[in-house]
Amino acid sequence: MERSSVGASWEDRLIRWQPSSHLVHCAKARDSMPIAWHKGAQTRFSGTPPYMIRIENISKQNSHRILFIEASAALNRGEKIGLVGPNGAGKTTLFRMITGDETPDEGQVSADKGVTIGYFNQDVGEMEGRSAVAEVMEGAGPVSVVAAELRQLEAEMVDPDKLDEMDRIIERYGEVQARYEELDGYALEGRAREVLSGLSFSQEMMDGDVGKLSGGWKMRVALARILLMRPDVMLLDEPSNHLDLESLIWLEEFLKGYEGALLMTSHDREFMNRIVGKIIEIDAGSLNSYSGDYGFYEQQRAQNEKQQQAQFERQQAMLAKEIKFIERFKARASHASQVQSRVKKLEKIDRVEPPKRRQTVAFEFLPAPRSGEDVINVKNVHKKYGSRVIYEGLDFMVRRKERWCIMGVNGAGKSTLLKLVAGSAEPDTGSVAIGASVKMGYFAQHAMDLLDGERTVLEWLEDSFPLSGQAPLRALAGCFGFSGDDVEKKCRVLSGGEKARLVMAKMLFDPPNLLVLDEPTNHLDLDTKEMLIKALSEYEGTMLFVSHDRHFLAALSNRVLELTPDGIHQYPGGYTEYVASTGQEAPGLRS
Over 50: is that where the pLDDT of 191 sits?
A: yes
Over 50: is that where the pLDDT of 371 sits?
A: yes
> Residue 113's pLDDT band (boundaries 50, 70, 90)?
confident
Rounded to whole angstroms, the Cα distance separating 79 from 95 reads 16
The pair phi, psi for residue 10, each rounded to 5°, is -130, 40
Over 50: is that where the pLDDT of 166 sits?
A: yes
Classify residue 100 by its DSSP letter: T
Mean of pLDDT values over 524-530: 82
What does the pLDDT look like over 17-49, one tens digit per residue? 223 333 333 343 333 322 222 222 223 333 455
**Under DSSP, is residue 339 helix (H, G, I), strand (E, B) or coil?**
helix
Rounded to whole angstroms, the Cα distance separating 19 from 23 reads 9
Which range of 3-17, 33-47, 277-291, 436-450 scores highest in mean pLDDT? It is: 277-291
Burial 391-429 (b: 16+ CB within 10 A, else e): beebebebbbebbbbbbbbeebbbbbbbbbbbeeeebee
Mean of pLDDT values over 280-309: 90
Among 348-352, 476-480, 523-527, 545-549, which is the least confidently predicted range?
523-527
Stronger pLDDT, 188 or 223, i.e. the higher one: 223
Rounded to whole angstroms, the Cα distance separating 418 from 383 reads 13
Mean of pLDDT values over 384-410: 93
- What is the predicted pLDDT for the residue at 529? 85
- What is the predicted pLDDT for the residue at 381? 95
Over 60: is that where the pLDDT of 412 sits?
A: yes
What does the pLDDT look like over 550-576, one tens digit per residue? 999 999 999 999 998 888 999 999 999
From the centroid of its chain, how far is CA 361?
21
Rounded to whole angstroms, the Cα distance separating 173 from 157 reads 9
Q: At what angle do helices 336-348 and 294-329 cross, to 10 degrees?
A: 160
Stronger pLDDT, 216 or 54, i.e. the higher one: 54
- What is the predicted pLDDT for the residue at 504? 84
Over 50: is that where the pLDDT of 132 sits?
A: yes
Over 90: is that where the pLDDT of 585 sits?
A: yes
Over 60: is that where the pLDDT of 330 sits?
A: yes
- What is the predicted pLDDT for the residue at 456? 94
> Residue 14's pLDDT band (boundaries 50, 70, 90)?
very low
- What is the predicted pLDDT for the residue at 362? 65
Average pLDDT over the chain, rounded to an integer: 84
Closest by CA position to 281, among listed 267, 303, 265: 265
Mean of pLDDT values over 478-506: 85
CA dist 511 to 93, 99, 466, 497, 535, Å?
A: 38, 45, 16, 21, 11
Over 90: is that where the pLDDT of 147 sits?
A: no
> Residue 121's pLDDT band (boundaries 50, 70, 90)?
confident
CA dist 470 to 461, 486, 532, Å?
A: 9, 14, 22
> Residue 523's pLDDT band (boundaries 50, 70, 90)?
confident
Q: Are strands 403-408 and 388-399 parallel, antiparallel or unpaired?
A: unpaired
- What is the predicted pLDDT for the residue at 15? 31
- What is the predicted pLDDT for the residue at 49? 54
Over 50: is that where the pLDDT of 290 sits?
A: yes
- What is the predicted pLDDT for the residue at 359? 57
Q: Are strands 388-399 and 374-385 parallel, antiparallel or unpaired?
A: antiparallel
- What is the predicted pLDDT for the residue at 179? 87
- What is the predicted pLDDT for the residue at 478? 86
> Residue 65's pLDDT band (boundaries 50, 70, 90)?
confident
- Whether 24 and 118 have beta carbons less than 8 Å apart is answered as yes
- What is the predicted pLDDT for the residue at 7? 36
Output the pTM of the full model: 0.77
Rounded to whole angstroms, the Cα distance separating 381 from 554 reads 28
- What is the predicted pLDDT for the residue at 367? 82
Over 70: is that where the pLDDT of 271 sits?
A: yes
